[in-house]
């Protein structure tokens, strides 16, 4: 996950400051030296680091910090605010035209994730009850049209294509007309990429631009390429007037430098972040939340939004009723796991919880998707009665379940124990709430 190294290093710096009742100028200097190194190591642009550190330093030796009883906390707050500012201050929203359709041109180098991101963006717009049209204007990469069509089918969004013999400019023009005729409110044009920026590519993009006059020109860049991504953004921006950047592959092993430098170097805000290959792995980019995540302070707001968008509230209510009445079975347990999985990969969910980065011996806890798969396999190997009455599970049954699920008896034991404890807690809880179907909130 991006930023892991940076978060760890910054937390070290701050934990030293936090313990102090008074902070001297020397302490601040020492801390800022470490912050500088941490940012450089995260591949943040050299000039950006210099400016950032000098701003933070200036504010940190001010009276407010020196007079505070908790100077360390005040400095963390300053860093948090400056990090937020560095990434654009507040969320840069996607434009919406008063005269639909809103036209979005997706540009970028080959392999950055343009086609995938076009599909993801369409999906995100659909979630907001919009009707996007995907446009296959990359006629050079042989598989690009097909790839977009497959994505379109997957999310049930229309895909406009005229094959690979019509010029991209013509395709874009006709697509916009098609959207108008069919009352579609967004047009997402997937343009061609190249391995490197070249004249021909830029010329084509400029022509498409002048023929459809897009409301958004979004540059898709691969965050894993760090400073290269920032340089690419800078070159594109000089020729095309980008309206925003989409950072992809933030789920990978990127150090975070691109996210922290793009806005400062190009003046272009990051509008979306992609955190995976799956179709719903695209999020609007919130600088303040990202700063909070980088500092290991979690991102509860994003987590709550994800939960609201993805969790089936009827099922959640039913689950609550079962918990109150202590009717919870292994089947319910699986169902609940399913709901949690809808929120995304577990490590990403953990990243949004405050303090989880510090607790990242968390990795040893093995709460990854694979582990969840094993739990599922164990439950699926139980008989109906066993799922409802785990107390009947003797050694032979446990051995059979372990063999059936390809796990070990120890793993089966652990799961049953966890489940027992959960049930006990629920019983106590429902007792406290008055218990039974008449309990408060039972529906
Ligand atoms: P294009 O040439 O710019 O259209 O790139 P594609 O959309 O074909 O993407 C190139 C590769 O990057 C594909 O294998 C995608 O699955 C992958 N990819 C795109 N976005 C992400 C992301 O956010 N995370 C990860 N892990 N992979 C991504």
C-alpha radius of gyration, the chain, whole number: 26
- Measured from the CA of 112, which atom of ligand 1 is nearest? 3
227 pLDDT exceeds 80? yes
pLDDT tens sequence across 314-370: 776 776 677 666 677 888 888 777 777 777 666 666 666 665 554 444 444 445 567
What pLDDT does 141 receive? Answer: 85
User: 3-state class of 382 per DSSP?
Assistant: coil
Tell me the DSSP string of 217-265. EEEEEEGGGTHHHHHHHHHHHHHH--SEEEEE-TTSS--SHHHHHHHHH
End-to-end CA distance of the chain: 41
pLDDT tens sequence across 186-203: 999 999 987 877 888 899
- Which protein residue has the closest C-alpha to ligand 1 atom 9? 113
101 lines ligand 1 (CB under 6 A): no
72 is in an annotated binding site: no
Q: Which residues of 176-208 are buried (b: 16+ CB within 10 A; e: fewer)?
A: bebbeeeebbbbbbbbbbeeeeeeebbebbeeb
Q: Are 69 and 180 in contact (CB under 8 A)?
A: no
What pLDDT does 433 receive? Answer: 45
pLDDT tens sequence across 143-192: 999 999 999 999 999 999 999 999 999 999 999 999 999 999 999 999 99
Average pLDDT over residues 55-76: 81
The closest of 215, 222, 214, 211 to 246, measured between CA atoms, is 222
Rounded to whole angstroms, how far apart are CA atoms 319 and 332? Answer: 7
What pLDDT does 60 receive? Answer: 87
pLDDT tens sequence across 414-434: 889 888 877 776 666 555 544
338 lines ligand 1 (CB under 6 A): no
Q: What is the DSSP letter of 95?
A: P
390 lines ligand 1 (CB under 6 A): no
What percentage of the chain has pLDDT greater than the value 70? 84
Q: How far is the CA of 108 from the centre of ligand 1 (A)?
A: 12
What pLDDT does 11 receive? Answer: 84
- Which protein residue has the closest C-alpha to ligand 1 atom 12? 113
Rounded to whole angstroms, how far apart are CA atoms 332 and 341? Answer: 14
86 is in an annotated binding site: no
Which residues, listed in sequence order, are joined to residue 186 by a DSSP beta bridge? 102, 132
193 is in an annotated binding site: yes
407: number of Cβ within 10 Å: 18
Tell whether pTM > 0.80: no
- What would the two tokens of residue 254 be? 């990127």
113 lines ligand 1 (CB under 6 A): yes
ipTM of the complex: 0.98
114 is in an annotated binding site: yes
112 lines ligand 1 (CB under 6 A): yes
251 lines ligand 1 (CB under 6 A): yes
Q: What is the dihedral of CA 218, 296, 336, 361, to 10 degrees?
A: 120
191 lines ligand 1 (CB under 6 A): no
- What would the two tokens of residue 379 be? 């439950």
222 lines ligand 1 (CB under 6 A): no
Rounded to whole angstroms, how far apart are CA atoms 91 and 89? Answer: 7
- Measured from the CA of 276, which atom of ligand 1 is nearest? 24
436 pLDDT exceeds 50? no
Phi, psi dihedral angles at 26 (to 5 degrees) = -60, -40
Phi, psi dihedral angles at 273 (to 5 degrees) = -125, 135
Higher pLDDT, 103 or 255: 103
Domains of the chain: 4-86 (1.20.120.140), 102-297 (3.40.50.300), 306-432 (1.10.260.30)
Pairing of strands 270-274, 282-284: antiparallel
Q: How far is the CA of 304 from the centre of ligand 1 (A)?
A: 27
pLDDT tens sequence across 76-135: 888 999 999 999 999 999 999 999 999 999 999 999 999 999 999 999 999 999 999 999
């Amino acid at each position: 996950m991006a930023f892991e190294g940076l978060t760890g290093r910054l937390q070290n710096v701050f934990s030293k400051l936090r313990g102090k009742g008074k902070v001297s100028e020397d302490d601040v200097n020492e801390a800022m030296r470490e912050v500088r190194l941490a940012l450089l190591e995260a591949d943040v642009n050299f000039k950006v680091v210099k400016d950032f550190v000098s701003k933070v330093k200036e504010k940190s030796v001010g009276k407010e910090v020196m007079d505070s009883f908790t100077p360390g906390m005040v400095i963390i707050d300053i860093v948090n605010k400056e990090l937020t500012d560095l990434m654009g201050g507040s969320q840069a929203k996607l434009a919406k035209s008063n005269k639909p359709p809103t036209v979005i041109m997706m540009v970028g180098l080959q392999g950055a994730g343009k086609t995938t991101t076009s599909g993801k963006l369409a999906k995100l717009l659909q979630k907001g009850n919009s009707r996007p049209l995907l446009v296959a204007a990359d006629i050079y990469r042989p598989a690009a049209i097909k790839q977009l069509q497959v994505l379109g089918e997957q999310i049930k969004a229309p895909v406009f294509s005229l094959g690979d013999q019509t010029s991209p400019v013509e395709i874009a023009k006709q697509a916009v007309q098609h959207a108008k005729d069919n009352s579609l409110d967004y047009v997402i044009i997937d343009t061609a990429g190249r391995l490197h920026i070249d004249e021909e590519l830029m010329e084509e993009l400029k022509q498409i631009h002048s023929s459809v006059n897009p409301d958004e020109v979004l540059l898709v860049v691969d965050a894993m390429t760090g400073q290269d991504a920032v340089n690419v953004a800078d070159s594109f921006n000089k020729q095309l007037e980008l309206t925003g950047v989409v950072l992809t592959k933030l789920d990978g092993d990127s150090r975070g430098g691109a996210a922290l430098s793009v806005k400062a170097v190009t003046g272009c805000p990051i509008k979306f972040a992609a955190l995976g290959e799956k179709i719903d792995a695209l999020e609007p980019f919130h600088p303040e939340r990202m700063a909070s995540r980088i500092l290991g302070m979690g991102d509860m707001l994003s987590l709550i939004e994800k939960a609201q968008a993805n969790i089936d509230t009827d099922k959640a209510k039913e689950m609550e009723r079962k918990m109150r009445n202590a009717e919870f079975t292994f089947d319910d347990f699986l169902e609940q796991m399913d709901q949690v999985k809808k929120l995304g990969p577990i490590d990403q969910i953990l990243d949004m919880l405050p303090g989880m980065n510090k607790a990242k011996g968390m990795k040893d806890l093995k709460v990854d998707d694979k582990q969840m798969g094993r739990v599922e396999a164990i439950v699926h190997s139980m008989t109906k009665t066993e799922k409802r009455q785990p107390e009947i599970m003797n050694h032979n049954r446990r051995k059979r379940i372990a063999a059936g699920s390809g796990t070990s008896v120890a793993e089966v034991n652990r799961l049953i124990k966890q489940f027992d404890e959960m049930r006990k807690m629920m019983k106590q809880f429902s007792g406290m709430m008055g218990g039974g179907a008449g309990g408060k909130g039972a529906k």
